[in-house]
Amino acid sequence: MTSFVNALPGAVTQGLIWGIMAIGLYLTYQVLELSDLTVDGSFCTGGAVCVMVMLSGGNVWVAMGAAILAGMLAGAVTGFFHTKCGIPAILAGILTQLGLWSVNLAIMDMSATQRLDVNQHSLLVSLRFLKEVTKGEKPFYMYPVLVVCAATALVIGILYWFFGTEKGSAIRATGANAHMARAQGINTNVSKLLGLVISNGLVALSGALLCQYQGFAEINMGRGAIVIGLAAIIIGEVLFGRLFRNFGLKLMAVSLGAILYYLVVQFVISVLNINTNYLKLFSALIVAVFLAVPYWQKNLRPRKASKEVPNAGN
């Protein structure tokens, strides 16, 4: 249990980082109601671009900006396949994800791993900062949990503002009812394209933060990202759906879902001592259970209601 308590700050930080990715996935999965599998590739793209820009001498802000733009470009490719080529969204995402494997290797100079030395580069977040801030070697505002909390709050604030604008409302209308949106003069193809661009930009931002935190970018770092993102979304909806009705609060619920997911994973690793090779299976089971919970609740309600109906003969 001691190891679990000691690992809590790191688990919360990773949950927040992956929560930004989950927020991006939420925009396509829930707002646009599109199944976008680009995220497994664009997550790695963000990390790869961030690392290579910094290794080339760029500062962390330029590197993160470049990572976001690269992710947005990946989303634009998926959007092009879907809206201009008539390819179903899920297949368009798979095609982009497949192509990004080679693109990501090319970005990293055909190396499966590229490392960032925290002693040679000024990073925004790093695993080492957890101990250094605690020991007083770094100022408190560099504590990774605080930094990623601020980044998450900024992302949610910007998205809350944007989806209240005309363009943002058009995206939400497209996801709610595409036929009605077209009848109102909304170009739904543009809305879908823009939604995919914003979504994958956020996913790439998450990848850029994670590569700094762990100190390297790796070609497989995005594998299974879709499962983690879905787990965060479903956990957030199941636990906080009735409390958080506001759009901004729903985004916050996704972030909280990611944190809870990583806390559970850390508990399994630290306390139950389960082999980490089983984490993918464990993640799949978590998603399956939380996806099933609303279905179970829906099926149980009619039975409870029927039991409460008084006998007509009495």
On whether residue 126 sits in a domain, the answer given is: yes
- The mean pLDDT of the chain is 87
Tell me the per-residue pLDDT of 193-235, one tens digit each, with 9 for 90 and over.
999 999 999 999 999 999 999 999 999 888 888 888 888 998 8
Task: Write phi, then psi, for 113 (nearest 5 degrees).
Answer: -140, 135
Question: DSSP character for 119?
Answer: T
C-beta contacts of 291-300 below 8 A and 24+ residues apart? 291/230, 291/234, 293/238, 294/237, 294/238
Residue of 240, 197, 258 lying closest to 27 (CA atoms): 197
Predicted confidence (pLDDT) at residue 305 exceeds the cutoff of 70: no
pLDDT bin (cut points 50, 70, 90) of residue 314 is: very low
On whether residue 124 sits in a domain, the answer given is: yes
Average pLDDT rounded to a whole number, residues 268-280:
76
pLDDT bin (cut points 50, 70, 90) of residue 311 is: low
On whether residue 139 sits in a domain, the answer given is: yes
Total domain count for the chain?
Answer: 1
pLDDT at 291: 76
> Which residue range is the domain that position 58 belongs to?
2-221
Residue 95 in contact with residue 81, Cβ under 8 Å?
A: yes
Average pLDDT rounded to a whole number, residues 102-126:
90
On whether residue 151 sits in a domain, the answer given is: yes
On whether residue 276 sits in a domain, the answer given is: no
pLDDT at 137: 83
On whether residue 313 sits in a domain, the answer given is: no
For residues 128 and 179, what is the distance between their CA atoms, to the nearest angstrom? 51
Query: pTM of this prediction?
Result: 0.89
On whether residue 192 sits in a domain, the answer given is: yes
Residue matched to tokens 């664009």: 42
Q: 3-state DSSP call for residue 178?
A: helix
CB atoms within 10 A of CB 215: 16
Predicted confidence (pLDDT) at residue 294 exceeds the cutoff of 50: yes
CB atoms within 10 A of CB 57: 8
On whether residue 314 sits in a domain, the answer given is: no
Average pLDDT rounded to a whole number, residues 34-56:
93
The better pLDDT of the pair 230, 71 is held by: 71
Alpha-carbon distances of 138 from 129, 131, 134, 143, 236, rounded to whole Å: 7, 9, 8, 8, 33
